[in-house]
Structure 1
Amino acid sequence: MQVDEISRAETFDATTAHAVDLPRILTGTAYVTDGDTIRIQNTQVRLFGIDAPELHHPYGKKAKWAMVRLCKGHCIRAEITDEDEHGRTVAKCFLPDGRDLSEELVKQGLAIDWPRYSGGKYKHLEVAGRRKKLWLADARQKGRLHVWEKFDARRKDEHDK
């Protein structure tokens, strides 16, 4: 595991002579947290542009294990694009053969495009009817967090019985 030569450092754009912040690249083994979050070199990385179910939501464990199967035994390349509102590193993550992890999970029907962040990059790959199955992720994207709260409360009530 190493950080590529390109690190988050200031350099100058030759045409404009303005400082440019180069992207940071992480490479290494990925520890999978859930369907859209991995850890590389002790850095928690949120996959760019998609939303996968939380572990305790329907299809959450399937999404995590699909990501484990994709990453297992591979050196993952994470091209850091941003930091989200929760302070997590956001990155476009790739397998050694160049496949985009976000794209692969959407194609498997275990994540949906998050247009607010992706610009719709993965929308065309969504499996038909998947937003209905991943309704909690869809509700989050639409700002309907009361749906999550209701689901979590019902689940807690069932667990307490």
Structure 2
Amino acid sequence: MRQFFLLITVFFLTAFETIPKTWKVIAIADGDTFTILENNKPIRIRVDAIDAPEKGMPFAKASKKYLSNLCFGKMVTIHAVTIDRYGRTVARASLTDGKDISTEMIRAGYAWHYKKYSKDILLSNLEIQARKNRVGLWKDKEPIAPWEIRKLHRKGISTKKILEASRQ
């Protein structure tokens, strides 16, 4: 099974190297996932190196809106990194003007630098600056990272009260 997954990953990453370099963003799922259209087939892109608030979390709608304003309907360049367990292409993405989407989402305070998967010093520094400036989700006194919420869900712990408390 592991070899099959590796084969599929290599296939998709190779496909991205051989098709045109820019695609139009046709949908925004949340603050770190959007959809492009390639040969009339929708492809979900998970933005590399960031983690944005999940649906139901504080700033989830604002994060999604910021990503939408940044790239919806625009052309993006995709640099595939891997395929995640949900079948999404994890990729660095940039606008045709060169703006990196991961960088812009962190700079605006609408995503965390996902240090578990990225050691990018620039992104770490941008997150620190966003925290200091209290922009975006950093307006919240103690924002809860999405990976912490997912960890609690995996343990079967309800996060409803935790999320309600963080909104106050």
TM-score by length of 1: 0.71
Contact 1:106 1:113 in 2 (8 A): yes
Could you say if the C-alpha distance between residues 101 and 153 of structure 1 is closer, same or farther in structure 2, counting changes exceeding 3 Å? same
Unaligned 5+ residue runs, structure 1?
Answer: 1-6, 10-20, 157-161
Which residue of structure 2 aligns with residue 115 of structure 1?
115
- CA deviation vs aligned residue, 1:112-131 (integer Å, no higher than 9, x gap): 10112111441110112639
Could you say if the C-alpha distance between residues 23 and 35 of structure 1 is closer, same or farther in structure 2, counting changes exceeding 3 Å? farther
Could you say if the C-alpha distance between residues 92 and 132 of structure 1 is closer, same or farther in structure 2, counting changes exceeding 3 Å? farther
Output the amino acid matched with 1:123: S
Give distance in 2, aligned partners of 1:23 and 1:48. 20
Which residue of structure 1 aligns with residue 51 of structure 2?
51
Which residue of structure 1 aligns with residue 143 of structure 2?
134
Give distance in 2, aligned partners of 1:37 and 1:63. 11
Output the amino acid matched with 1:84: D
Contact 1:114 1:120 in 2 (8 A): no
Choose between structure 1 and 2: higher helix proportion: 2
TM-score by length of 2: 0.68
Identity of aligned residues (%): 27
Could you say if the C-alpha distance between residues 83 and 72 of structure 1 is closer, same or farther in structure 2, counting changes exceeding 3 Å? closer
Which residue of structure 1 aligns with residue 126 of structure 2?
125
- CA deviation vs aligned residue, 1:47-77 (integer Å, no higher than 9, x gap): 0000000121110000000011101342111
Which residue of structure 2 aligns with residue 17 of structure 1?
none
- Higher gyration radius (CA): 1
Cα shift at 1:135: 0.8
Aligned positions, number = 138
Unaligned 5+ residue runs, structure 2?
Answer: 1-12, 133-137
Cα shift at 1:110: 0.7
